[in-house]
Amino acid sequence: MHKYATSTVYCSAMTQAPLRAAVVGSTGYIGMQCTALLAAHPDVELTRVLGHSSAGKRYCDVVPGSTVELVIEDLIDPGSADVIMAALPHTVAASQAPGWLAGGATVIDCSADFRLHDGAAYQHWYGVEHPAPDLIGEAVYAMVELERERVAGANLISVPGCYPTATLLACVPALRAGLIEPDIVVDAKSGVSGAGREAKVANLFAEVNESVHAYGVGGHRHKSEMLEQLRDAAGGDVRLTFVPHLVPMTRGILATAYLRPLPGVTESHIHELYAAFCDTSPFLDHAHKPPATKSVTGTNRAAIHAGWQDGMAVVTVAIDNLGKGGAGQAVHAMNIRFGFDETAGLESRVLWP
């Protein structure tokens, strides 16, 4: 597909009423981004915003800078929305999704509840049994650049995590093309908003300012999600060493993947592959030098640089963890699912927090 082509039209925004949208968990960081993007979307009517702790208050009185005047609700009638975006803690969306789907809504889940295909793996990493195991097989992983056709026909859409988004954009093209060994090392760094809006001592300004540290060295829970997708791309087993770091910035992800080319693969092969990959989506930018996270702040864009060092391909990806790594990707998937222009509602920047 050409870089600026739109998705297949499944319903025309020119001839039908606006899509009725609701955001559940609208006052968390991802929920805030979803709400702002949907409120400005030309083909959408934002009809409901939900948030348990702020129920009964006007949304604009709770979220700084918002112009949305809807009253925050605690419960939703599934029939009142065509699409429900869930920005909830893990297990909560899965417990509600069957009712939402039965009510006729398309569900776009921003939590980890439907990212894994294996219920046992979910229980291992999240410490609880999956609340809706029968739905795991129905969910489509919403990496639009990698699964565009499947997203277009899905009623239950799972938005990838922020670390997996950057990691998969860096690694999947080379794996699918059969250019690299299935043994990958990824060093990734995230801003503090990736931990959510809940108050935590470890995320206080005094704890993170002027300091960088690695965490999850023994195994980050997003690794299982990445491995599922990497193995699908490779058509076989993949070894992944993934180390995340917390850096003292509000938002952004920078992932650097170290990929060992197969014999005969050159720097030109890698460069041409990623240039062609970036041409498949209006939200992928082929960077001519390693990108900075600030270049994509507040957007649904991913800046990708394919480098080379001593026979090793070094692919760096910069995204906004709340945008391309969260709400932006959710709206992008919604556009594909409902046949809207692919970039609709995603041209502006959302900069809170």
Token pair listed for 57: 């208050």
> Count of CB atoms within 10 A of residue 129's CB?
11
Q: Is 11 helix (H, G, I), strand (E, B) or coil?
A: coil
Q: Which residues contact 314 (CB under 8 A, 6 or more apart)?
A: 256, 257, 258, 259, 306, 307, 308
User: How many other C-beta atoms lie within 10 A of the C-beta of residue 304?
Assistant: 23
Q: Is 162 a catalytic residue?
A: yes
Length of the chain: 353
Closest CA to 323 of 55, 40, 64, 30: 30
CB 270 within 8 A of CB 177: no
Catalytically annotated residue among 11, 60, 110, 162: 162
- How many helices and strands (H and E) does the chain possess? 10, 13
Listed in sequence order, the residues at least 6 apart from 325 whose beta carbon sits closer than 8 Å to its beta carbon are 160, 161, 162, 163, 165, 166, 194, 253, 319
Q: Would you name the residues annotated as active-site residues?
A: 162
